[in-house]
Structure 1
């Protein structure tokens, strides 16, 4: 078993979280154990890591309609006057420089530390040729605002007829999936139904994640608490009719009170930690639930095709023997104590390399299918790598259809990794409260950390 070097990404993560977040520092170590297992199975290369599946930044995102409520809130909250492009997904990142800079979408697509890493591959999968046009969909905006230090804010484009396409639907779903907090401005639901159907479906799918905060903008007027409560109840009824049953509501008034939003944002470090640990457990379970079954199916198909081909060859040879028997009589030679074994050895010497050649040809065809399957499932693991590692000499000759790694040892290792990830969740829970013999201790909030992704 070759030892896999720790990726630079994981080394930087461990250094980053060592002083501020020991849970995520330990999570980085578990990710490396998972990397070693996947490396042994041929699923990843030396410098790759499964930790790149999730952004380690705390992420806020915004969804809104045609009104200026969303952009006004962002400028007011960050204390800046930004002019982000309304038709692109804009990632706002902190900078210590006094002036903002707008970077192209390729900066996000190429940087594994940021949340749109290699998103062009997914875009290309659903819309041929659009993967090369990443700059038309994404941009990175650096902002000098302390509110952004250690976190990212993703502003989604305003929905319109021109933006209602497969790519924007994919990016919207991607943003909601990876966000720790989604600020949904309720003017979104005033748009035409065909423009927001996909967004509503995604919100419904993720509504139990407790990441949605619905914002009703009345920042131009003053409202009494009773009226605010009536507005919230009215919106709750309206969203329930759409199938959205959970989520907090905030009414913005001329008082400028954003305390509930501030409280949610202050808790982003914890939300991010739970999200990363969830990604870790999913990645572990994916090996047994998705990756091994996919490769096992490919190996079964490959074995069936190779065996069928060699049976056709054998059928052809049997036909030749029967023809020779009818013509000149050769079957007696097969039962000769000296010539018979020699003929058998010659047949084995011919059929064994022929079987290997035929198997390799079919394997190449299966590898191409696995590459397509990997893209369709949006997997970072190399399915073809595990498949090819399972094509050893004896595995080709013998009726073995299980991929490398499908054994009790690997399953026990995966179980241990899952238990480690659960222990980290428990440790994270214990930062808030822990059980004592007599009673529950008082709430203890973990220290907030200012992240700086290396």
Structure 2
């Protein structure tokens, strides 16, 4: 059986191999994450089976969410230039579909297990998350996820995710859990609504989860709200009325302005006889569709900066949050250990005095046990003192262990930088003095390691800026889609 440390090494190795084929500019960044791993593992924030490099998605993700019959699948087919997804006016698919590039030149559909068991994809072990939310459903991952590989060039270096209609899935808790997971990892989230349903109030549940959820996030700019199939309003020429109605609904749900688009599918649209009216719809659609395409094409560049920024964020969290939190916890631990040492040993001492007094071992303030003075019975005195010393030591280490466990229970186990509880417990092991200020693994070597990552990040970002802005050094732009 492969040990956890070896397994994570193999996983990172596979990640680097795939990046070298699809996004080579990021291969170097993986090594930066590994440097942070070394620091975190010495501290105990990461276990041997963990890595910061596996906690993010390395491929730009574009998610397509929304209500059923909103035209999500048709949009994907048009974008890819192939009929990959089934489309229709009813809910035609009740699973999330993760769409990736196929270098073999053919299209295949794989079960959800292909995603759950492959550490290269952002749904690795998602069955465990589903199980925690809905007991018994984790084993049914194939009911929630499927994977499709297609030879479209649009998929090189990125992942598309098509979702089931929000109001079409009976297993709501698990579906929302996967949706939240997708949103968290995505670089761009396209939320589709159907213009053929003029009453946006009927979609209140969808608006509640997607729109209000977006507003609570720091990265809400990645949400694009799209009113699709607006060509159905061309005959009545009420484009502005429908758009206004939806914008009002979005505003009531918390989306105040921006990131709202109006489109339709050119292949399926039926032009109206009034050419002026139709031209107005065409111009609006083309302008918004172009903006959407620009955002999709831009996710590759954004992902490089996002991954690099995440690495620097982890480095900062390690030094500015994890270490001070551990130092404060150790200080608190030291104070409580000394306090309880005093209380317990003082109580034992007073109890011992009272007990030996009851036995008649005291002559006034002079301790006079039956075995006499040291000269008359040295062995007895040595045994007594040895027992006393070992008793004090046993009490101290019992106290420090119990206090550490109580304090550790209050520390978080899942922070961006790792498991603070585990790091604290490792820093309170018996062989570590309670007077050590720094946690285990924190010293010059660790500080220098973090600083080296920061310096490497700065150099890498500067090189990215030179590449993407075509600066004076005339560096060749890397093919981020390769």
**Please, what TM-score do these two structures have when normalized by structure 2?**
0.74
Q: 1:312 aligns with which of 332, 335, 344?
A: 344
CA deviations 1:283-318 (Å, max 9, x no partner) are 223323554466557656766379637833551342
Flag the 1:190–1:141 CA change in 2: closer, same or farther, 3 A. farther
Flag the 1:341–1:399 CA change in 2: closer, same or farther, 3 A. farther
Flag the 1:307–1:89 CA change in 2: closer, same or farther, 3 A. farther
User: C-alpha separation between the residues in 1 aligned to 2:266 and 2:168?
Assistant: 35
Residue 98 (structure 2) pairs with residue 110 (structure 1): no
Higher CA-based Rg: 2
User: C-alpha separation between the residues in 2 aligned to 1:128 and 1:424?
Assistant: 44
Q: What's the offset of the Cα at 1:388? A: 3.9
User: C-alpha separation between the residues in 1 aligned to 2:329 and 2:129?
Assistant: 23
Decide whether the 8 Å contact of 1:62 with 1:70 is kept in 2. yes
SS in 2 for 1:210: helix
- Bigger shift: 339-348 or 205-214? 339-348
SS in 2 for 1:425: helix
- Bigger shift: 383-392 or 49-58? 383-392
What is the match of residue 277 of structure 1? 308
User: C-alpha separation between the residues in 2 aligned to 1:306 and 1:137?
Assistant: 54
Q: 1:211 aligns with which of 219, 222, 225?
A: 222
Q: 2:319 aligns with which of 288, 308, 315?
A: 288
User: C-alpha separation between the residues in 2 aligned to 1:238 and 1:223?
Assistant: 21
Alignment of 1:316-331 (within 5 A): 316-330=348-362, 331=365
Flag the 1:237–1:297 CA change in 2: closer, same or farther, 3 A. same
Residue 85 (structure 2) pairs with residue 82 (structure 1): yes
- Number of residues paired by the alignment? 436
- Bigger shift: 27-36 or 67-76? 67-76
- Bigger shift: 156-165 or 345-354? 156-165
Flag the 1:317–1:140 CA change in 2: closer, same or farther, 3 A. farther
Alignment of 1:165-184 (within 5 A): 165-184=172-191
RMSD: 4.2
**Please, what TM-score do these two structures have when normalized by structure 1?**
0.77
Residue 136 (structure 2) pairs with residue 101 (structure 1): no
User: C-alpha separation between the residues in 1 aligned to 2:182 and 2:150?
Assistant: 20
Q: 1:32 aligns with which of 25, 29, 34?
A: 34
CA deviations 1:344-371 (Å, max 9, x no partner) are 554222221343355446656777x48x
What is the match of residue 75 of structure 2? 73
User: C-alpha separation between the residues in 2 aligned to 1:204 and 1:408?
Assistant: 42
Q: What's the offset of the Cα at 1:61? A: 0.3
User: C-alpha separation between the residues in 2 aligned to 1:186 and 1:63?
Assistant: 9
SS in 1 for 2:85: coil
User: C-alpha separation between the residues in 2 aligned to 1:141 and 1:241?
Assistant: 37
SS in 1 for 2:121: coil
Where structure 1 has 5 or more consecutive residues not aligned to the other structure, the ranges are: none
Residue 247 (structure 2) pairs with residue 244 (structure 1): no
Residue 435 (structure 2) pairs with residue 404 (structure 1): no
